[in-house]
Chains A and B, each alone.
Chain A
Amino acid sequence: MDNSTTYQIEIPASTSNLADVRKFVGVHATGFGFKENEVEEIKLAVDEALTNVIKHAYKFDDSKTIYISVGLQGREFWVAIQDTGAPFEPQNYTEPNIPERVKKGLKGGVGVYLIKRLVDKVEYNKKSQHNEIKLIKKL
């Protein structure tokens, strides 16, 4: 994988495809030279972002499509996830109080919290009809 190459896949918005995307991202992250634990971090961050798209942007409508691409920029590995559903508004995001969520029996709601701790940078972009979340990890 050199700096000019990007790899892309597209999947129906179904959780049944999460494992395949983790594998796809894992192969490229490993190829770029990340250590095993870092590859696991990237795979988890991508899984959380995809799950949010399936759940929130597309509301489990598996007729919709998610576009995933990976590439390099210098010593940085990036994964971009695009959808055409309801956009995530990062300015409205507040960090969850996890002990309080546990106390109230609230399931999850911690995906973005995890993503921010697993990669070095998270960018949200709007490109015409597409929403994009870009996860960046430095080697």
Chain B
Amino acid sequence: MTSTAKRARRQPAPKQATLAKIFHWLNIIGLLLMITSGLQIYNANPVFGGRGGWSFPDLFLLGGGLANGRHWHFAAMWLFSLNLLGLGIYIFTTQRWKQRFVSSGDLKALRVSQNQKRKTYSWHRLVYTAIIPILLLAVLSGIGMYKPAQFPWIVGMFGSWQALRIVHFITVPTVAVFTLVHSLLGLKVGGQRLLRSIFW
């Protein structure tokens, strides 16, 4: 019975809810489509510098031109935003937001804990919680830019059209940095097994 004994010594593999895995996958696909088509739109008139401003190389673009970039962006917006909405309904109806996201306990640990593992874990939870308002802000600023005549108050919230464009665009570098930090923290907290658990 060596195998049983061996299994007993090992900690059980981390398990993720199937819905959590689906939301995570759809969010990755949705973000990938939104970012690549968004950069295609960006290049038509760079937010920084306007005509003649620095533009993104083809490698990062989706659609091959402004018209198709827009088609992709306004198709993938449904996947991206409805997935976020679904996630929101899910974490509130199941009360997951209480256990699975950053808590006052995590914030306290970050301030006072001497346990480095505990602190890393809290950082991990803080980072993946913090990306949610950033994604919601991308949706809000996107609606403001898509329908400024129907939702002038959204443009008003951001002060100016340029500020609205900057906030919407900032999602891209933020998500890029987030992806890196989130992956590294996930690895540090739970290694390959945790990483695998959210994907498969």
**Do A and B come together as binding partners?**
no
What is A's interface to B at a CB cutoff of 8 Å? none
